[in-house]
Amino acid sequence: MVIRRVGPLSCAKVAGVLYLILGFIFGALISLFSVGGSFFGDTEASGLGGMILGAGAIVILPICYAVFGFLMTLIMTSLFNVVVGFTGGIEVDAS
């Protein structure tokens, strides 16, 4: 079987959801480390900044990951379709 074309929008939707999940995981880790680190800060302002960064990571990071993952996958699958026209496709062994 030879892959000669990929649907850019369908691939981008799947990649966007996968990057959203990764964004939640990384956002939770950053939040955990920043809130944990804010307890060891010297001033009261550093503690507040760490908590704001931690809460923001849970919201902002998944959105950014999903949007950029969607857009990059959309661009790359469109370029893939152009390149496959010149090269003939990718051979896949289905056994």
Mean pLDDT, the chain, rounded, equals 86
Question: Does a structural domain hold residue 68?
Answer: yes
Question: Does a structural domain hold residue 47?
Answer: yes
pLDDT at 3 exceeding the cut of 90: no
Contact partners, residue 69, CB within 8 Å, separation at least 6: 15, 16, 18, 19, 20
Tens of pLDDT, residues 40-86: 655 555 566 666 777 778 888 899 999 999 999 999 999 999 999 99
Residue 43: what pLDDT?
A: 56
> Where in the sequence is the domain holding 65, given as residue range(s)?
13-75
pLDDT at 89 exceeding the cut of 80: yes
Residue 18: what pLDDT?
A: 97
The whole-model pTM stands at: 0.78
Cβ proximity of 70 and 18 under 8 Å: no
Total tally of structural domains belonging to the chain:
1
Question: Does a structural domain hold residue 66?
Answer: yes
CA 44 to chain CA mean position, Å: 33
More confident residue, 36 or 29: 29
Question: Does a structural domain hold residue 18?
Answer: yes
Nearest 5°: the CA angle 73, 8, 89 is 100
The C-alpha atoms of residue 15 and residue 9 are separated, in whole angstroms, by 10
Question: Does a structural domain hold residue 7?
Answer: no
pLDDT at 16 exceeding the cut of 70: yes
